[in-house]
Amino acid sequence: MRYTYLPSPIGDLLAVRDDEGLTGLYLPSGTSAVSPRPDWTRDDTAFDDVRTQLEEYFAGDRREFDLPLHPTGTPFQQRVWRALCGIPFGETASYSETAIAIGTPTAVRAVGHANGQNPIPIIVPCHRVVGANGSLTGYGGGLDAKRWLLSHEAAHAGLFAT
Contact present, 145 and 27 (Cβ < 8 Å):
yes
pLDDT tens for each residue of 73-97: 999 999 999 999 999 999 999 999 9
Which one from 126, 130, 149, 150 is the annotated catalytic residue? 126
Residues of the chain above pLDDT 90, percent: 84
Res 111 pLDDT > 90: yes
3-state SS string for 103-153: CCCCCHHHHHHHHHCCCCCCCCCHHHEECCCCCCCCCCCCHHHHHHHHHHH
Domains in the chain, CATH or no CATH each: 2-59 (3.30.160.70), 75-160 (1.10.10.10)
Q: What is the phi/psi pair of residue 4, to 5°?
A: -155, 170
Residue 159 confidence class, pLDDT cut points 50, 70, 90 = low
**Is 126 tagged catalytic?**
yes
Tell me what pLDDT residue 134 has.
82
Tell me what pLDDT residue 161 has.
47
Scored b (16 or more CB within 10 A) or e, 90-119 reads bebbbbbbbbbbbeeeebbebbbebbebbb
Res 125 pLDDT > 90: yes
